[in-house]
Amino acid sequence: MDESRLRSLGADVESKVDLPDFGAVAERGARIRRRRTAATGAVAALAVAVTAFTLTRTFDTNRSQQPIHQPAPTIDPEAARRVLTDPDAQVDTDASRVDGSGAMLAVVVVRDRTFGQTAGSCPPASQRSALRWTGRGGGTRAWVERVRRVEPVPGGFVVAAVPRPCRSDDPADARAYLVDGSGVPRGITWGRGAERVCATRPADVRCHFDVRSRHASFNAAARLPLGAVPLRTKAAGLRWARSSDSRRLYWSADGRTWRHRDTTLPAGAIVSASAAGRWGVLAGDTAVEFTSDGGATWRRRDLTSALRTVRIGDVDWTVTPSGLLLGVTQLVGRGDVLFRSTDATWSRFVETGVHTAFGLVRPVAVGGAVYVVDDQRWAVSTDGGATWRRTPPLP
């Protein structure tokens, strides 16, 4: 596509749009202000009512809810094969995930051929989809499944319940389930209060899944700091989160009390906030502030000389649980290129051979695995970026 057609659209529209009288806009703003004043009193009364209702409901839930045992889904490999072999089948790389062992759970979708015909955020009922699990050793399993959120947890994955507005009459839509380290779907035993939140939002900071015992528990006291984005490091015990602009890292041992560190890098610098295990990193292109002891001490390192062996532009950094640093940089003529430190001293960096023309994104460290997604497939490494394997293509 000629991109200049899109860019020139803005100037064309700007020159043809009239500037309406500001008085009407100001009057509209004044009406909003009056409505807010009137609503404040009503909101206060409502807040009191909601608090009373929530306290009552929490009391009732805690008193009455016993562990709930749910069955695993039924597997139909033949129907899954028909989905995977459809010429229009695609892996949805945004929805698919890799777990800490390097196993991959791919969401495979046969797209509706007409753009823009979906109702709301729910996929059309006619859309077919499947999940395909690929183990570290190359073994695969697949089953037909509606499009659901997939979340890596220690030892496997959680496949979330279908979001409420998109559910059919099938009761299986309302159930979440686990996929264990062999790629086998397993039912979940829900602990007190867990199913209500964790079945649809398994990544919630309050949810904990144990694949081995097939149990899910809920810690109602855990909270993310306001505006923070969680980082996928639950497996290490220490929880990490970042601010939306990545200039602040938060960490917590219990999910309730959080400490934080703000970067001292210049205000205009693009900062990568990354954490795994005991390592936390706030990094610009060549200057890194880091902790290797779970936030107890922070140091600063200039990587300019260590980076002499690789070409870099702007860099997105990721740290692994063993303290290796991986960077993605965009180079003119070469696209996005992934490079890594040879060890945790960060004294030498080498290219990994993983690159794409467009769409290679920042690596994600999950447990002992690190993966990177481009537009079509993943590259996964379980040795800190030394060797990589690609997801198998669809049949």
Partner 1 sequence: MAEDGYVREVYEASYRRLVAQAYAVAADRVEAEDAVQEAFARAVAAGDRFRRLDNPEAWLRTVALNVLRRRWRRASMFRALSPRLATASDVPGISEDHVAVVAALRSLPFQQRETLALFYLGDLSVQEIAATLGVADGTVKSRLTRGRTALAGLLDTTLEAERG
Q: What's the closest the beta carbon of residue 369 comes to partner 1, in angstroms?
A: 17
Q: What's the closest the beta carbon of residue 35 comes to partner 1, in angstroms?
A: 9
Nearest to 283 by CA among 220, 237, 329: 329
Q: What's the closest the beta carbon of residue 237 comes to partner 1, in angstroms?
A: 24
Cβ-count burial 186-221 (b if 16+ within 10 Å, e if not): bbbbbbbbbbeebbbbbebbbbbbbbeebbbbbbee
Q: Which is nearer to partner 1, 49 or 125 (by Cβ)? A: 125
Q: What's the closest the beta carbon of residue 206 comes to partner 1, in angstroms?
A: 20
Q: Which is nearer to partner 1, 8 or 61 (by Cβ)? A: 8
Q: What's the closest the beta carbon of residue 352 comes to partner 1, in angstroms?
A: 17
Q: Which is nearer to partner 1, 28 or 299 (by Cβ)? A: 28
Q: Which is nearer to partner 1, 310 or 361 (by Cβ)? A: 361
Q: What's the closest the beta carbon of residue 335 comes to partner 1, in angstroms?
A: 11
Q: Which is nearer to partner 1, 121 or 297 (by Cβ)? A: 121
Q: Which is nearer to partner 1, 116 or 333 (by Cβ)? A: 116
What is the Cα 148 distance to its own chain's centre? 14
The token pair at 106 is 């791919």
Nearest to 160 by CA among 103, 100, 219, 95: 95
Q: Which is nearer to partner 1, 11 or 42 (by Cβ)? A: 11
Q: Which is nearer to partner 1, 19 or 38 (by Cβ)? A: 19
Q: Which is nearer to partner 1, 220 or 229 (by Cβ)? A: 229
Residues 6+ apart with CB under 8 A from 172: 73
Q: What's the closest the beta carbon of residue 162 comes to partner 1, in angstroms?
A: 18
Q: What's the closest the beta carbon of residue 286 comes to partner 1, in angstroms?
A: 17
Residues that bind partner 1 (CB under 8 A): 1, 3, 5-14, 16-17, 19-20, 22, 24-26, 28-33, 36, 93-94, 115-121, 244-245, 270, 316, 358-359, 361-362, 373, 375
Q: What's the closest the beta carbon of residue 275 comes to partner 1, in angstroms?
A: 15
Q: What's the closest the beta carbon of residue 186 comes to partner 1, in angstroms?
A: 29
The three state secondary structure string of the chain is CCHHHHHHHHHHHHHHCCCCCHHHHHHHHHHHHHHHHHHHHHHHHHHHHHHHHHHHHHHHHHHHCCCEECCCCCCCHHHHHHHHCCCCEEECCCCCEECCCCCEEEEEEECCCCCCCCECCECCCCCEEEEEEECCCCCEEEEECCCCCEEEECCEEEECCCCHHHCCCCHHHHCCEEECCCCCEECCEECCCHHHHHCCCCCCCCEEEECCCCEEEECCCCCCCCCCEECCCHHHCCEEEECCCCCEEEEECCCCCCEEEECCCCCCCCCEEEEECCEEEEECCCEEEEECCCCCCCEEEECCCHHHHCCCCCEEEEECCCCCEEEEEEECCCEEEEEEECCCCCCCEEEEEEEECCCCCCCEEECCEEEEECCCCEEEECCCCCCCEECCCCC
Q: Which is nearer to partner 1, 43 or 253 (by Cβ)? A: 43
Q: What amino acid occupies position 151?
A: E
